[in-house]
Structure 1
Protein backbone atom coordinates (compact mmCIF):
# COMPACT_ATOMS: atom_id res chain seq x y z
CA UNK A 1 0.00 0.00 0.00
CA UNK A 2 1.48 3.32 -1.06
CA UNK A 3 2.07 6.06 1.49
CA UNK A 4 1.48 9.76 0.95
CA UNK A 5 3.95 11.58 3.16
CA UNK A 6 4.41 15.33 3.31
CA UNK A 7 8.02 16.46 3.27
CA UNK A 8 8.04 18.93 6.13
CA UNK A 9 10.12 22.08 6.06
CA UNK A 10 11.38 23.58 9.27
CA UNK A 11 13.15 26.81 10.09
CA UNK A 12 16.35 26.93 12.14
CA UNK A 13 15.92 23.29 13.05
CA UNK A 14 12.58 23.89 14.78
CA UNK A 15 9.10 22.87 13.67
CA UNK A 16 6.08 23.75 15.86
CA UNK A 17 3.65 20.92 16.48
CA UNK A 18 0.86 23.29 15.44
CA UNK A 19 2.42 23.47 11.96
CA UNK A 20 2.29 19.68 11.64
CA UNK A 21 -1.35 19.87 12.66
CA UNK A 22 -1.96 22.35 9.83
CA UNK A 23 -0.20 20.01 7.40
CA UNK A 24 -2.23 17.00 8.49
CA UNK A 25 -5.56 18.61 9.30
CA UNK A 26 -7.65 18.54 6.13
CA UNK A 27 -6.54 15.19 4.71
CA UNK A 28 -6.86 13.68 8.18
CA UNK A 29 -10.41 15.01 8.47
CA UNK A 30 -11.32 13.56 5.08
CA UNK A 31 -10.06 10.15 6.17
CA UNK A 32 -12.01 10.35 9.43
CA UNK A 33 -15.22 11.24 7.59
CA UNK A 34 -14.63 8.27 5.30
CA UNK A 35 -13.95 6.01 8.29
CA UNK A 36 -17.26 7.07 9.84
CA UNK A 37 -19.03 6.20 6.58
CA UNK A 38 -17.38 2.77 6.48
CA UNK A 39 -17.95 1.86 10.13
CA UNK A 40 -21.30 3.39 11.02
CA UNK A 41 -22.62 1.86 14.23
CA UNK A 42 -19.98 -0.48 15.61
CA UNK A 43 -18.05 -1.87 18.53
CA UNK A 44 -14.30 -2.30 18.61
CA UNK A 45 -11.79 -4.49 20.35
CA UNK A 46 -8.03 -4.71 20.39
CA UNK A 47 -5.77 -7.52 21.53
CA UNK A 48 -2.25 -6.16 21.74
CA UNK A 49 -0.69 -9.60 22.12
CA UNK A 50 -2.43 -11.45 19.26
CA UNK A 51 -2.29 -8.75 17.77
CA UNK A 52 -5.85 -8.09 16.50
CA UNK A 53 -7.80 -4.89 15.93
CA UNK A 54 -11.40 -5.60 14.99
CA UNK A 55 -14.67 -3.78 14.42
CA UNK A 56 -18.01 -5.55 14.91
CA UNK A 57 -21.31 -4.37 13.42
CA UNK A 58 -24.92 -4.89 14.52
CA UNK A 59 -25.34 -7.43 11.70
CA UNK A 60 -22.70 -9.61 13.34
CA UNK A 61 -20.20 -9.00 10.55
CA UNK A 62 -16.68 -8.00 11.44
CA UNK A 63 -13.89 -5.99 9.86
CA UNK A 64 -10.39 -6.92 10.93
CA UNK A 65 -7.59 -4.44 10.24
CA UNK A 66 -4.73 -5.61 8.06
CA UNK A 67 -2.38 -3.98 10.52
CA UNK A 68 -2.46 -1.36 13.25
CA UNK A 69 -0.02 0.77 15.19
CA UNK A 70 -0.27 1.89 18.81
CA UNK A 71 0.76 5.55 19.08
CA UNK A 72 0.18 6.33 22.74
CA UNK A 73 -2.40 7.18 25.36
CA UNK A 74 -3.86 10.21 27.11
CA UNK A 75 -4.65 9.74 30.81
CA UNK A 76 -6.80 12.03 32.96
CA UNK A 77 -4.97 11.33 36.25
CA UNK A 78 -1.58 12.78 35.31
CA UNK A 79 -3.25 14.88 32.58
CA UNK A 80 -0.61 13.83 30.09
CA UNK A 81 0.01 12.05 26.82
CA UNK A 82 2.45 9.11 26.90
CA UNK A 83 4.02 7.78 23.70
CA UNK A 84 3.70 4.04 23.08
CA UNK A 85 7.48 3.58 22.94
CA UNK A 86 7.69 4.87 26.53
CA UNK A 87 4.78 2.84 27.95
CA UNK A 88 6.05 0.54 30.72
CA UNK A 89 3.47 -2.15 29.91
CA UNK A 90 5.84 -3.79 27.43
CA UNK A 91 3.69 -3.97 24.30
CA UNK A 92 5.04 -5.87 21.26
CA UNK A 93 7.67 -3.86 19.41
CA UNK A 94 5.83 -4.31 16.12
CA UNK A 95 2.95 -2.26 17.51
CA UNK A 96 5.07 0.59 18.90
CA UNK A 97 7.72 0.76 16.18
CA UNK A 98 5.84 3.39 14.18
CA UNK A 99 5.57 5.62 17.26
CA UNK A 100 9.33 5.22 17.61
CA UNK A 101 9.80 6.42 14.04
CA UNK A 102 7.70 9.51 14.88
CA UNK A 103 10.07 10.17 17.80
CA UNK A 104 13.06 9.91 15.46
CA UNK A 105 11.49 12.33 13.00
CA UNK A 106 10.66 14.64 15.88
CA UNK A 107 14.33 14.70 16.81
CA UNK A 108 15.26 15.51 13.22
CA UNK A 109 12.82 18.40 13.00
CA UNK A 110 13.17 19.70 16.54
CA UNK A 111 9.62 18.92 17.73
CA UNK A 112 9.92 18.50 21.49
CA UNK A 113 6.42 17.04 21.95
CA UNK A 114 7.34 14.11 19.71
CA UNK A 115 10.54 13.26 21.56
CA UNK A 116 9.42 13.57 25.20
CA UNK A 117 8.16 10.29 26.62
CA UNK A 118 5.31 12.04 28.44
CA UNK A 119 3.78 15.38 27.48
CA UNK A 120 1.47 17.32 29.83
CA UNK A 121 -1.86 18.29 28.27
CA UNK A 122 -0.98 21.92 29.02
CA UNK A 123 2.04 21.68 26.71
CA UNK A 124 0.01 20.49 23.70
CA UNK A 125 -1.43 22.99 21.18
CA UNK A 126 -4.63 24.44 22.56
CA UNK A 127 -3.86 23.09 26.05
CA UNK A 128 -6.61 20.43 25.94
CA UNK A 129 -8.01 19.42 29.31
CA UNK A 130 -9.66 16.12 28.35
CA UNK A 131 -8.08 12.89 27.03
CA UNK A 132 -10.31 12.69 23.95
CA UNK A 133 -8.97 16.09 22.86
CA UNK A 134 -5.37 15.47 23.94
CA UNK A 135 -4.93 12.49 21.60
CA UNK A 136 -5.41 14.81 18.63
CA UNK A 137 -2.13 16.75 18.29
CA UNK A 138 0.32 13.81 18.55
CA UNK A 139 -1.91 11.64 16.35
CA UNK A 140 -2.10 14.30 13.64
CA UNK A 141 1.67 14.69 13.68
CA UNK A 142 2.12 10.93 13.36
CA UNK A 143 -0.18 10.85 10.33
CA UNK A 144 1.62 13.48 8.30
CA UNK A 145 5.08 12.17 9.21
CA UNK A 146 4.34 8.51 8.42
CA UNK A 147 1.77 8.74 5.64
CA UNK A 148 -0.73 6.54 7.47
CA UNK A 149 -3.89 8.56 7.58
CA UNK A 150 -6.66 6.66 9.35
CA UNK A 151 -6.76 6.85 13.14
CA UNK A 152 -8.98 5.42 15.83
CA UNK A 153 -9.02 6.17 19.52
CA UNK A 154 -11.08 4.74 22.33
CA UNK A 155 -11.33 4.49 26.08
CA UNK A 156 -9.29 1.68 27.61
CA UNK A 157 -10.20 2.11 31.27
CA UNK A 158 -10.21 4.81 33.92
CA UNK A 159 -10.91 7.52 31.39
CA UNK A 160 -7.64 6.87 29.52
CA UNK A 161 -7.86 6.95 25.74
CA UNK A 162 -5.51 5.03 23.48
CA UNK A 163 -4.74 6.20 19.95
CA UNK A 164 -4.03 3.92 16.99
CA UNK A 165 -3.37 4.16 13.27
CA UNK A 166 -5.39 1.45 11.53
CA UNK A 167 -5.12 0.02 8.03
CA UNK A 168 -7.62 -1.76 5.78
CA UNK A 169 -8.46 -1.46 2.04
CA UNK A 170 -11.94 -0.18 2.94
CA UNK A 171 -10.35 2.85 4.61
CA UNK A 172 -8.75 4.13 1.39
CA UNK A 173 -10.29 7.32 0.04
CA UNK A 174 -12.30 7.41 -3.17
CA UNK A 175 -11.23 9.78 -5.94
CA UNK A 176 -11.86 13.43 -5.05
CA UNK A 177 -15.14 14.95 -6.27
CA UNK A 178 -15.84 18.70 -6.51
CA UNK A 179 -18.80 19.01 -4.14
CA UNK A 180 -17.28 16.73 -1.51
CA UNK A 181 -13.94 18.53 -1.68
CA UNK A 182 -15.50 21.98 -1.40
CA UNK A 183 -17.63 20.86 1.54
CA UNK A 184 -14.61 19.30 3.20
CA UNK A 185 -12.59 22.51 2.90
CA UNK A 186 -15.41 24.58 4.38
CA UNK A 187 -15.87 22.17 7.29
CA UNK A 188 -12.13 22.02 7.91
CA UNK A 189 -11.52 25.75 8.09
CA UNK A 190 -14.57 26.29 10.32
CA UNK A 191 -14.02 23.34 12.63
CA UNK A 192 -10.31 22.57 12.86
CA UNK A 193 -7.81 24.55 14.97
CA UNK A 194 -5.79 25.61 11.93
CA UNK A 195 -3.22 28.35 12.42
CA UNK A 196 -2.32 28.89 8.74
CA UNK A 197 -5.16 28.37 6.26
CA UNK A 198 -2.98 28.93 3.20
CA UNK A 199 -0.48 26.29 4.27
CA UNK A 200 -3.22 23.86 5.31
CA UNK A 201 -5.13 24.06 2.03
CA UNK A 202 -2.00 24.00 -0.12
CA UNK A 203 -0.67 20.97 1.74
CA UNK A 204 -4.00 19.18 1.40
CA UNK A 205 -4.02 19.84 -2.34
CA UNK A 206 -0.46 18.59 -2.64
CA UNK A 207 -1.11 15.40 -0.68
CA UNK A 208 -4.41 14.72 -2.48
CA UNK A 209 -2.86 15.14 -5.93
CA UNK A 210 -4.86 18.27 -6.77
CA UNK A 211 -1.99 20.29 -8.26
CA UNK A 212 -2.31 23.33 -5.97
CA UNK A 213 -1.16 26.63 -7.46
CA UNK A 214 -1.28 30.10 -5.90
CA UNK A 215 -2.06 33.25 -7.86
CA UNK A 216 0.78 35.76 -7.90
CA UNK A 217 -0.77 37.79 -5.09
CA UNK A 218 -1.36 34.71 -2.92
CA UNK A 219 -5.02 35.62 -2.53
CA UNK A 220 -6.29 32.63 -4.54
CA UNK A 221 -5.32 28.98 -4.79
CA UNK A 222 -6.50 26.68 -7.55
CA UNK A 223 -7.01 22.95 -7.04
CA UNK A 224 -7.36 20.86 -10.17
CA UNK A 225 -7.59 17.24 -11.23
CA UNK A 226 -9.62 15.22 -13.71
CA UNK A 227 -13.22 16.31 -13.23
CA UNK A 228 -12.35 18.85 -10.55
CA UNK A 229 -11.48 22.55 -10.66
CA UNK A 230 -11.81 24.67 -7.55
CA UNK A 231 -10.58 28.13 -6.59
CA UNK A 232 -10.02 28.91 -2.92
CA UNK A 233 -9.83 32.60 -2.06
CA UNK A 234 -8.33 34.06 1.11
CA UNK A 235 -9.04 37.28 2.97
CA UNK A 236 -6.48 39.88 4.09
CA UNK A 237 -5.76 37.79 7.20
CA UNK A 238 -4.96 34.65 5.21
CA UNK A 239 -8.21 32.91 6.16
CA UNK A 240 -10.30 30.99 3.65
CA UNK A 241 -12.99 33.36 2.35
CA UNK A 242 -14.66 31.32 -0.37
CA UNK A 243 -14.47 28.07 -2.35
CA UNK A 244 -15.75 28.26 -5.92
CA UNK A 245 -16.01 25.85 -8.81
CA UNK A 246 -18.24 23.37 -10.58
CA UNK A 247 -19.94 21.56 -7.69
CA UNK A 248 -22.23 19.25 -9.64
CA UNK A 249 -21.07 16.01 -7.97
Structure 2
Protein backbone atom coordinates (compact mmCIF):
# COMPACT_ATOMS: atom_id res chain seq x y z
CA UNK A 1 0.00 0.00 0.00
CA UNK A 2 1.25 3.47 -0.85
CA UNK A 3 1.94 5.86 2.01
CA UNK A 4 2.48 9.01 -0.05
CA UNK A 5 0.96 12.19 1.33
CA UNK A 6 -0.59 13.05 -2.04
CA UNK A 7 -2.77 10.21 -3.30
CA UNK A 8 -3.51 9.68 -6.95
CA UNK A 9 -7.02 9.55 -8.35
CA UNK A 10 -6.86 5.74 -8.48
CA UNK A 11 -5.61 5.68 -4.87
CA UNK A 12 -8.76 7.53 -3.87
CA UNK A 13 -10.92 5.05 -5.74
CA UNK A 14 -9.31 2.19 -3.84
CA UNK A 15 -9.58 4.04 -0.52
CA UNK A 16 -13.31 4.51 -1.01
CA UNK A 17 -14.19 1.18 -2.58
CA UNK A 18 -15.23 -1.14 0.23
CA UNK A 19 -16.63 1.41 2.68
CA UNK A 20 -18.64 3.00 -0.11
CA UNK A 21 -19.97 -0.42 -1.11
CA UNK A 22 -21.07 -1.17 2.45
CA UNK A 23 -22.89 2.15 2.67
CA UNK A 24 -24.65 1.53 -0.64
CA UNK A 25 -25.74 -1.93 0.50
CA UNK A 26 -27.05 -0.33 3.68
CA UNK A 27 -28.89 2.34 1.69
CA UNK A 28 -30.70 -0.43 -0.22
CA UNK A 29 -31.72 -1.96 3.11
CA UNK A 30 -33.00 1.37 4.42
CA UNK A 31 -35.05 2.59 1.43
CA UNK A 32 -36.06 -0.73 -0.21
CA UNK A 33 -38.10 -0.44 -3.40
CA UNK A 34 -38.46 3.27 -4.00
CA UNK A 35 -38.91 6.31 -6.16
CA UNK A 36 -37.01 9.51 -5.54
CA UNK A 37 -37.21 13.21 -6.22
CA UNK A 38 -34.92 16.12 -5.54
CA UNK A 39 -35.40 19.88 -5.26
CA UNK A 40 -31.96 21.42 -5.07
CA UNK A 41 -33.23 24.95 -4.54
CA UNK A 42 -35.09 23.71 -1.46
CA UNK A 43 -32.15 21.42 -0.56
CA UNK A 44 -34.51 18.45 -0.40
CA UNK A 45 -33.95 14.83 -1.48
CA UNK A 46 -36.93 12.55 -0.86
CA UNK A 47 -37.55 8.80 -1.14
CA UNK A 48 -41.05 7.41 -1.51
CA UNK A 49 -42.22 3.83 -1.75
CA UNK A 50 -41.42 1.02 0.66
CA UNK A 51 -39.88 3.36 3.26
CA UNK A 52 -40.59 7.07 2.90
CA UNK A 53 -37.65 9.22 3.94
CA UNK A 54 -36.51 12.81 3.48
CA UNK A 55 -32.76 13.30 3.64
CA UNK A 56 -31.36 15.73 6.19
CA UNK A 57 -28.64 16.82 3.79
CA UNK A 58 -28.11 16.74 0.03
CA UNK A 59 -24.96 17.63 -1.92
CA UNK A 60 -24.85 17.70 -5.71
CA UNK A 61 -21.51 16.32 -6.86
CA UNK A 62 -21.91 16.83 -10.57
CA UNK A 63 -23.17 15.30 -13.79
CA UNK A 64 -21.83 13.13 -16.59
CA UNK A 65 -23.27 14.03 -19.99
CA UNK A 66 -22.94 11.92 -23.15
CA UNK A 67 -23.15 14.92 -25.49
CA UNK A 68 -19.90 16.64 -24.54
CA UNK A 69 -18.57 13.35 -23.17
CA UNK A 70 -17.52 14.94 -19.91
CA UNK A 71 -18.16 15.22 -16.19
CA UNK A 72 -19.02 18.69 -14.84
CA UNK A 73 -18.43 19.33 -11.14
CA UNK A 74 -21.31 21.03 -9.33
CA UNK A 75 -19.15 23.96 -8.19
CA UNK A 76 -18.56 24.81 -11.86
CA UNK A 77 -22.16 24.34 -13.02
CA UNK A 78 -23.62 27.67 -14.22
CA UNK A 79 -27.17 26.74 -13.18
CA UNK A 80 -27.03 28.75 -9.98
CA UNK A 81 -27.55 26.03 -7.39
CA UNK A 82 -27.46 27.09 -3.73
CA UNK A 83 -23.96 27.16 -2.26
CA UNK A 84 -25.06 24.71 0.42
CA UNK A 85 -25.51 21.95 -2.17
CA UNK A 86 -22.24 22.64 -4.04
CA UNK A 87 -19.89 23.51 -1.15
CA UNK A 88 -18.80 19.91 -0.70
CA UNK A 89 -17.51 19.77 -4.27
CA UNK A 90 -15.64 23.04 -3.73
CA UNK A 91 -13.80 21.33 -0.85
CA UNK A 92 -13.05 18.35 -3.13
CA UNK A 93 -11.75 20.80 -5.76
CA UNK A 94 -9.46 22.46 -3.22
CA UNK A 95 -8.10 19.06 -2.20
CA UNK A 96 -7.45 18.24 -5.84
CA UNK A 97 -5.58 21.50 -6.37
CA UNK A 98 -3.51 21.03 -3.22
CA UNK A 99 -2.51 17.48 -4.14
CA UNK A 100 -2.21 17.86 -7.90
CA UNK A 101 -5.17 15.67 -8.88
CA UNK A 102 -6.59 17.19 -12.09
CA UNK A 103 -9.69 14.96 -12.08
CA UNK A 104 -10.78 16.76 -8.92
CA UNK A 105 -9.34 20.20 -9.63
CA UNK A 106 -10.61 20.87 -13.15
CA UNK A 107 -14.20 22.11 -13.62
CA UNK A 108 -14.89 19.69 -16.49
CA UNK A 109 -13.26 16.30 -16.99
CA UNK A 110 -13.44 14.43 -20.33
CA UNK A 111 -14.53 10.81 -20.09
CA UNK A 112 -11.32 9.78 -21.83
CA UNK A 113 -9.16 11.35 -19.11
CA UNK A 114 -10.42 8.88 -16.51
CA UNK A 115 -8.97 5.43 -15.75
CA UNK A 116 -10.05 2.98 -18.44
CA UNK A 117 -11.48 5.80 -20.59
CA UNK A 118 -15.12 4.85 -19.81
CA UNK A 119 -17.75 5.92 -22.31
CA UNK A 120 -20.94 5.44 -20.27
CA UNK A 121 -22.10 8.38 -18.12
CA UNK A 122 -23.15 6.09 -15.24
CA UNK A 123 -19.65 4.61 -15.03
CA UNK A 124 -18.08 8.06 -15.14
CA UNK A 125 -20.42 9.36 -12.43
CA UNK A 126 -19.55 6.36 -10.26
CA UNK A 127 -15.81 7.00 -10.56
CA UNK A 128 -16.08 10.68 -9.71
CA UNK A 129 -18.41 9.94 -6.82
CA UNK A 130 -16.06 7.37 -5.30
CA UNK A 131 -13.12 9.76 -5.42
CA UNK A 132 -15.20 12.54 -3.86
CA UNK A 133 -16.27 10.22 -1.05
CA UNK A 134 -12.68 9.41 -0.14
CA UNK A 135 -11.88 13.12 0.12
CA UNK A 136 -15.06 14.28 1.84
CA UNK A 137 -15.54 11.35 4.20
CA UNK A 138 -19.22 11.20 3.25
CA UNK A 139 -20.20 7.75 2.13
CA UNK A 140 -23.83 7.44 1.01
CA UNK A 141 -24.54 8.47 -2.57
CA UNK A 142 -27.28 8.30 -5.15
CA UNK A 143 -26.69 8.38 -8.91
CA UNK A 144 -29.46 8.43 -11.47
CA UNK A 145 -30.28 9.31 -15.06
CA UNK A 146 -31.81 12.79 -15.16
CA UNK A 147 -32.61 13.19 -18.86
CA UNK A 148 -31.01 12.80 -22.30
CA UNK A 149 -28.62 10.17 -20.98
CA UNK A 150 -27.04 12.49 -18.41
CA UNK A 151 -26.36 10.98 -14.99
CA UNK A 152 -26.23 13.17 -11.89
CA UNK A 153 -24.70 12.11 -8.61
CA UNK A 154 -25.53 13.22 -5.07
CA UNK A 155 -24.18 12.67 -1.59
CA UNK A 156 -27.18 12.25 0.70
CA UNK A 157 -27.36 12.28 4.49
CA UNK A 158 -29.79 10.90 7.05
CA UNK A 159 -29.29 9.31 10.49
CA UNK A 160 -30.70 6.06 9.10
CA UNK A 161 -27.73 5.84 6.72
CA UNK A 162 -25.25 5.45 9.58
CA UNK A 163 -23.74 1.98 9.50
CA UNK A 164 -24.28 -0.34 12.45
CA UNK A 165 -21.23 -1.44 14.42
CA UNK A 166 -19.05 -3.75 12.32
CA UNK A 167 -19.99 -7.39 12.74
CA UNK A 168 -18.30 -10.37 11.14
CA UNK A 169 -21.01 -11.47 8.69
CA UNK A 170 -21.60 -7.93 7.44
CA UNK A 171 -17.92 -7.16 7.02
CA UNK A 172 -17.29 -10.47 5.27
CA UNK A 173 -20.19 -9.88 2.88
CA UNK A 174 -18.74 -6.48 1.99
CA UNK A 175 -15.26 -7.92 1.44
CA UNK A 176 -16.49 -10.80 -0.70
CA UNK A 177 -18.79 -8.67 -2.83
CA UNK A 178 -16.09 -6.05 -3.23
CA UNK A 179 -13.38 -8.48 -4.26
CA UNK A 180 -15.64 -10.13 -6.80
CA UNK A 181 -17.32 -7.03 -8.19
CA UNK A 182 -15.33 -3.84 -7.66
CA UNK A 183 -12.82 -2.52 -10.24
CA UNK A 184 -9.93 -2.32 -7.79
CA UNK A 185 -6.45 -1.14 -8.73
CA UNK A 186 -4.50 -1.95 -5.53
CA UNK A 187 -6.44 -4.57 -3.59
CA UNK A 188 -4.14 -4.49 -0.59
CA UNK A 189 -4.55 -0.75 -0.26
CA UNK A 190 -8.32 -0.99 -0.72
CA UNK A 191 -8.80 -3.63 1.97
CA UNK A 192 -6.44 -1.94 4.41
CA UNK A 193 -8.21 1.41 3.89
CA UNK A 194 -11.54 -0.27 4.51
CA UNK A 195 -10.32 -1.80 7.75
CA UNK A 196 -8.95 1.50 9.05
CA UNK A 197 -11.94 3.60 7.98
CA UNK A 198 -14.38 1.02 9.38
CA UNK A 199 -12.69 1.21 12.77
CA UNK A 200 -11.20 -2.29 12.65
CA UNK A 201 -7.75 -3.36 13.72
CA UNK A 202 -5.88 -3.68 10.43
CA UNK A 203 -2.31 -4.93 10.13
CA UNK A 204 -0.16 -6.52 7.43
CA UNK A 205 2.36 -9.21 8.19
CA UNK A 206 6.00 -8.20 7.48
CA UNK A 207 5.89 -9.64 3.95
CA UNK A 208 2.70 -7.81 3.03
CA UNK A 209 1.16 -11.09 1.90
CA UNK A 210 -1.41 -11.29 4.69
CA UNK A 211 -3.78 -8.69 6.09
CA UNK A 212 -5.35 -9.28 9.50
CA UNK A 213 -8.61 -7.49 10.28
CA UNK A 214 -10.26 -7.66 13.68
CA UNK A 215 -13.45 -6.32 15.25
CA UNK A 216 -14.91 -6.78 18.69
CA UNK A 217 -16.37 -10.21 17.86
CA UNK A 218 -14.51 -11.49 14.80
CA UNK A 219 -11.14 -11.83 13.12
CA UNK A 220 -10.48 -12.14 9.41
CA UNK A 221 -7.36 -12.87 7.40
CA UNK A 222 -6.91 -12.04 3.72
CA UNK A 223 -3.98 -13.69 1.93
CA UNK A 224 -2.46 -12.22 -1.25
CA UNK A 225 -0.29 -13.59 -4.02
CA UNK A 226 2.84 -11.87 -5.36
CA UNK A 227 0.67 -9.67 -7.61
CA UNK A 228 -1.42 -8.44 -4.68
CA UNK A 229 -4.47 -10.50 -5.61
CA UNK A 230 -6.51 -12.05 -2.77
CA UNK A 231 -6.14 -15.82 -2.79
CA UNK A 232 -7.99 -16.77 0.40
CA UNK A 233 -10.20 -15.19 3.05
CA UNK A 234 -10.68 -16.85 6.42
CA UNK A 235 -12.82 -15.57 9.26
CA UNK A 236 -13.60 -16.65 12.80
CA UNK A 237 -16.54 -15.30 14.76
CA UNK A 238 -16.40 -15.09 18.53
CA UNK A 239 -18.74 -17.56 20.21
CA UNK A 240 -18.70 -19.83 17.16
CA UNK A 241 -15.76 -22.04 18.02
CA UNK A 242 -13.83 -22.75 14.88
CA UNK A 243 -16.49 -21.32 12.59
CA UNK A 244 -14.95 -20.18 9.35
CA UNK A 245 -16.15 -17.47 7.02
CA UNK A 246 -15.84 -17.40 3.23
CA UNK A 247 -12.65 -18.98 1.91
CA UNK A 248 -10.83 -19.19 -1.39
CA UNK A 249 -11.65 -15.77 -2.85
CA UNK A 250 -10.77 -15.87 -6.52
CA UNK A 251 -8.06 -13.44 -7.61
CA UNK A 252 -9.03 -10.77 -10.09
CA UNK A 253 -7.23 -10.72 -13.38
Using the alignment, how far apart are the partners of 1:151 and 1:180 within structure 2? 19
User: Which residue is 1:51 aligned to?
Assistant: 43
Given candidates 92, 107, 112, the residue that maps to 1:102 is: 92
Equivalent residue, structure 1, for 2:251: none
Offset of 1:62 from its aligned partner? 2.1
What do the CA deviations read for 1:3-49 (whole angstroms, capped 9, x no partner)? xxxxx9546x5x32111000100100010111111111100000011
Aligned to 2:229: 239
- Gap regions ≥5 residues in structure 2: 246-253
8 A Cα contact 1:222 1:229, kept in partner = yes
Among residues 18, 26, 29, which one is paired with 1:34 in the alignment? 26
Tell me which moved more, 153-162 or 95-104.
153-162
* CA–CA distance in structure 2, aligned partners of residues 9 and 217 of structure 1: 16
Deviates more, 1:109-118 or 1:181-190: 181-190
2:228, 2:43 → 1: CA distance? 45
4+ runs of 1 displaced by more than 3 Å? Answer: 8-11
SS in 1 for 2:95: helix
Contact 2:126 2:143 in 1 (8 A): no
Q: Alignment partner of 1:85: what SS?
A: helix
Q: Is 2:181 aligned against 1:191?
A: yes
CA-based RMSD: 1.6
TM-score, structure 1 as length reference: 0.91
Q: Return the alpha-carbon distance in structure 2 between the equivalents of residues 138 and 217 of structure 1.
A: 33
CA distance in 2, matches of 1:217, 1:27: 25
Counting only pairs closer than 5 Å after superposition, residues 110-129 of structure 1 correspond to structure 2 as 110-129=100-119
Gaps of 5+ in 1: 1-7
Residues 1-249 of structure 1 correspond to what in structure 2 (within 5 A)?
Answer: 10=4, 15-58=7-50, 62-247=52-237
Residues in 2 aligned to 1:245 and 1:50: alpha-carbon distance in whole angstroms: 46
Q: Give secondary structure in 2 for the equivalent of 1:77.
A: coil
Residue aligned with 1:193, SS: coil
Distance of 1:63 and 1:143 partners within structure 2: 22
TM-score (norm 2): 0.90
Shift of 1:187: 1.4
Deviation at 1:128, TM superposition (A): 1.3
What is the alpha-carbon distance in structure 1 between the residues aligned to residue 218 and residue 61 of structure 2? 35
For residue 202 of structure 1, report the CA deviation from its aligned partner.
0.5
Total equivalences in the alignment:
238
Query: 1:18 & 1:139 partners in 2: Cα distance?
Result: 12
Give the Cα–Cα distance (whole angstroms) in 2 for the partners of residues 124 and 109 of structure 1: 17
Which is further off, 116-125 or 177-186? 177-186
